[in-house]
Structure 1
Amino acid sequence: MQISKSVLTDTHFSNHPKNYMLRLICEDGFFVSLLGTGASIRQIGFPSRQMDLQNLALSFSQESTYFSNPLYAGATLAPTAGRISHGSLPVGDHLYKLSRNESGIHSLHGGFENASFLVWELHSASVTPSGDAQVSFTCTLPDGLDGFPGNRHITVTYTLTEAHQLTMDYNAISDQDTYFNISNHSYFNLSGDFSRPATDHILQIHADRYICNAPDFIPEETADVTGTPFDFRHPLALSAQLQKYPGDIQIRRNQGYNHGFLLNHSSDSPDLLCTLPDGSVQMAVASDAPCMVLYSGGYIDDRQQLINGQHTVPSCALAFEFQDYPDAPGDHGFPYHITKANTPWKRQICYQFTIR
């Protein structure tokens, strides 16, 4: 296992703290590239049979794009993932008004100055005694930023093993009662070809219920997946479900999938399996988060330039956001947990990649 580290020196970065790009490299060439901007996953890839690099994660062609990151591609979503309706955050007896960065109505992924666009400090990068590559980034969000309470310190630690297991451990603490709901927003196309839709990917999601959305993507209710395009309890291609239920109001309203699945969390199986049709690449994901939002990329436009000369097209990649119930602070009766002052908060997401 190796870790390479470089400092981004483009003039675009001159007004920011030292911004690192790191590459964690397994002995067989499988690798993960990380970027200080947003503590982001830049690339996940491996040498293909054609001896080129097959990249599995959507990657912009220019590192500077990650400062605006229109897709939140690969970014750490902090302090919160997803939407908080009308920017209203109840904490104890106080109702905090958050910045509303989605159409001036809702707070999305933590507001205008969320941690996805910040340069995180590189805290450590080393190979552990057990031979794993481990990298930690930290950032501090001041009290009142985007309306959230508390001076908040957040750490994300990436660990890559020789068995191609990538684990993200999120830890956070605040000097005031606050709300944390941190996740990652990587997009995947396991074929490495982002010039075509990823809806041929086969999914298995261990969830009996999903969340129906209103037209503004705020939850309406939970529903049984049985007899709906949201039933992935057995392996199915997204395209098969989309073709089977062409008139489903939830699918039409969201240009595909942009929905939360309430995870069963079986001890003997991952929460999610995502596989290429030929079975050559598979990604298994497990997390302690109660919910996973599947976004099938229906709103991705064709203007984003990617590495290897590619550019985005609608549904060219799938995002799996492991998080709390969407809009947990809203008036839906969903579980909602405040983190008390000086009390650690944590979450884990683990990807296991299999190359056949």
Structure 2
Amino acid sequence: MNIQKSLFGRMNDKDIYRFNLVNAKGNSISIINYGAAVISWKVKDKNERTRDIVIGFDNLEDYLKNDAYIGCIAGRYANRIADGRFTVQGTEFKLACNNGPNHLHGGITGFDKVAWDAKTVDDVNPRLSFTYYSKDGEEGYPGNLSVKVDYIYTDNDELIIEYFAQTDKATPVNLTSHGYFNLTGDADRSILDHSLQIHADYYTAVNENQIPTGELCAVDKTAFDFNMPAKISGQISKTENGFDHNYVLKHDGNKLSLAVVLTDPENELQLSVYTTEPGLQFYSGNLLDGSITNRDGKPVSKHAALCLETQHFPDSPNRPEFPSTILLPGDAFTSATIYKISVN
């Protein structure tokens, strides 16, 4: 993996850099240290045509005014926390609310809206390493949290994302990559004709505010059943508002397990997602409305891209029956996800 670095812009007197990760095939991924965001992923299809399979911008200004979490790392807690409240070790904490009555993706200034420190690590497994120090009280969270996110791009077109965090006070931690995918490389084409397979028998039921009720619902014979590959259009037509739901993955402990297979309409490119996380938020781009434009100037409209966010379940700090997201001093949060592109 070759890493190239160039200035992308400046924010609050801090330089924001673009890092271009190039593998032996000539395919490349670009990442900036604002939000540790993936802004481009260029791959060649079977006809040697280059496709950029993620939504992104070519300038920092568009990221600064963007509230759709395009390509970023979401945290300190990805997804929603009900009423922006939780209790840890007998103390209630109140978080910033930025999604109606709820806290979403770390709050008003989450990890997506900060400048991370970046360095390249040239060892046996070269990587691009981002670090961020989240101070005690930031967005209402307890504890000073040290976070590291490593990106590795292999010659087999695997984007490996490794997460690590430590704290000095008990605090919830849930990190994810919020990339928007369209395997055709054309934001004018809807993702509804993509084929999707999700290895999950259940999803977490939610109320009108997208907060889990605690019930795990079976996907069998419902719109949520993607255990066998299915066109998204056929399933989404059975829903009222599209997909923005957390799936309970079939999982082998903390081992990397296959969670998702996404295939483009022509069956030429395939994205496989492996993760150590117990959940996956599938978002079908329901709220994309054309108000933002992709790097090619095309508006990003409804269903122009989708998200496959590997994570723990929403509102886990208030749901003791869910896998715990509370990180304790002396322990380490670790997680890994692999996004692998294959050419059919």
TM-score range, shorter chain: over 0.9
Structure 2: state its 5+ residue gaps. none
1:34-113 paired onto structure 2 within 5 Å: 34-48=31-45, 53-103=50-100, 105-113=101-109
Tell me whether 1:18 sits opposite 2:12 in the alignment: no
C-alpha change, 1:288 and 1:49, in structure 2 (3 Å) is closer
Contact 1:3–1:126 (CA under 8 A) maintained in structure 2? no
Partner-residue secondary structure (3-state), 1:159:
strand
Partner of 2:110: 114
Offset of residue 154 of structure 1 = 0.5
Counterpart Cα distance in 2 of 1:268 and 1:79: 22
Partner of 1:316: 304
Equivalent in 244, 265, 272 of residue 258 of structure 1? 244
Partner of 2:130: 137
Offset of residue 14 of structure 1 = 4.9
C-alpha change, 1:49 and 1:165, in structure 2 (3 Å) is closer
Counterpart Cα distance in 1 of 2:134 and 2:257: 36
Partner of 2:341: 353
Bigger share in strand: 2
Tell me whether 1:188 sits opposite 2:181 in the alignment: yes
Partner of 1:125: 120
Partner-residue secondary structure (3-state), 1:8:
strand
- Residue identity in the other structure for 2:159: L
Structure 1: state its 5+ residue gaps. 246-250
Offset of residue 49 of structure 1 = 6.6
Offset of residue 26 of structure 1 = 1.3
Contact 2:256–2:276 (CA under 8 A) maintained in structure 1? no
Contact 1:271–1:285 (CA under 8 A) maintained in structure 2? yes
Tell me whether 1:150 sits opposite 2:150 in the alignment: no
Offset of residue 216 of structure 1 = 1.2
- Residue identity in the other structure for 1:307: R
Q: CA RMSD in A?
A: 1.8
- Residue identity in the other structure for 1:40: A
C-alpha change, 1:28 and 1:314, in structure 2 (3 Å) is same
Offset of residue 125 of structure 1 = 1.2
Offset of residue 304 of structure 1 = 0.5
Contact 2:129–2:150 (CA under 8 A) maintained in structure 1? yes
Counterpart Cα distance in 2 of 1:338 and 1:15: 32
Partner-residue secondary structure (3-state), 1:282:
strand
Offset of residue 331 of structure 1 = 4.4
Counterpart Cα distance in 2 of 1:67 and 1:155: 22
- Residue identity in the other structure for 2:331: T
Give the structure-1-normalised TM-score: 0.91
Counterpart Cα distance in 2 of 1:34 and 1:258: 25
Deviations 1:124-174 (A, max 9, x none): 214443xx5410011111100111000111010001110101110010111
Tell me whether 1:231 sits opposite 2:219 in the alignment: no
Offset of residue 229 of structure 1 = 0.6
- Identity rate of aligned residues, in percent? 30
Equivalent in 154, 167, 173 of residue 160 of structure 2? 167
Partner of 2:2: 2
Counterpart Cα distance in 1 of 2:95 and 2:57: 29
Counterpart Cα distance in 2 of 1:341 and 1:314: 42
Equivalent in 193, 196, 207 of residue 203 of structure 1? 196
Counterpart Cα distance in 1 of 2:260 and 2:81: 25
Partner of 1:274: 262
Counterpart Cα distance in 2 of 1:300 and 1:306: 12
C-alpha change, 1:49 and 1:114, in structure 2 (3 Å) is same
Counterpart Cα distance in 2 of 1:311 and 1:168: 28
Give the structure-2-normalised TM-score: 0.94
- Residue identity in the other structure for 1:125: T
Partner-residue secondary structure (3-state), 1:194:
coil
- Residue identity in the other structure for 1:228: T
Partner-residue secondary structure (3-state), 2:316:
coil
Counterpart Cα distance in 1 of 2:265 and 2:49: 21
Deviations 1:39-69 (A, max 9, x none): 1111111245776631001112432222243
Offset of residue 79 of structure 1 = 0.7
